[in-house]
Structure 1
Amino acid sequence: MNVFLIGIIIFVIVYLFLNWFARTSSKKIATTIKKIAVYFSLILATLLAIGGKYIFSLPFLFVILSGLKIKGLTTLQMFQLWRLIQFLKNSGKFSQGQFGKTHGSTNISKNEAYKLLGLSSGCSKEEVLIAVSKLQKKIHPDMN
């Protein structure tokens, strides 16, 4: 008797769901399914986090992030865009007033630079340019 009653209840629930599915617009169905996925993921991620299974809760948190939209961009895309901006900012190429300029890694004195080039302190500009060119050719990665 109990199996018969449970079968009728399941049949009624499936009938009501399919009836709602047939009468509702596809946009409303999509938003409802998205909301259900976000709420289900939030509940499951919370339960796993409370249980100490943080690694298992991460995929559900990413589902939640992808479900939230801000001005056409998902939260995950906003986070990736923020990381890209931080990377470009930290690289120094796009900092204020420094666009297109290269940054040296260390500061050396004139005497150290002349010693590195193999020149004496009182040489001409042409000699320095020739020595720089030779050094660049010597250490260039394409030249073996």
Structure 2
Amino acid sequence: MNIIIYTLIILTFFYFLLKWSASVPSKKITKSLRFFSLLIFIILAVLFAIGGKFLLTLPLTLISLALIKLKGLSLFQIFSLFRLIQTLRQSGRFSFNKSQRNNPSSISVAEAYKILNLNIDNKPTKELVNQAYIKIQKKIHPDISPETSRLSAIVNEAKDIVLRDIS
């Protein structure tokens, strides 16, 4: 009985964590998680070194070095994809139900900026829009996963709308 309660508590915690991450800018999440992960790995490596467990310090040190050098981890890509899906679900443009197709009406300008993670107040350049578009498409392109073809079509439409708004 206790296992069920603990499982429900853990799942509830992760649900609210993912819900929170959908509203926070992905760069802030990336920097915070990388910093805290790095800090935890360094502290554990030092504690293991002090305790004489030198064999355990090597993997933690290597992970810490990888966090410093890498530009992105798959965990951060999952957060970004989750944010995109949440944005589209809130606007009614995406559902996990395959029988329901995406809304044929066009996306508003504000939604297009939000889908591409761009700030509507600061008019971005074409290069910035293309960079944001490519960053998202690398994660959801239909060649990578056929299930994401609807998401890819929505992101294509959002890019076109933002580019029309800029020019």
TM range (shorter): 0.3 to 0.5
Higher relative contact order (CA 8 A, sep 6+): 2
TM-score, normalising length from structure 2? 0.35
Higher CA-based Rg: 1
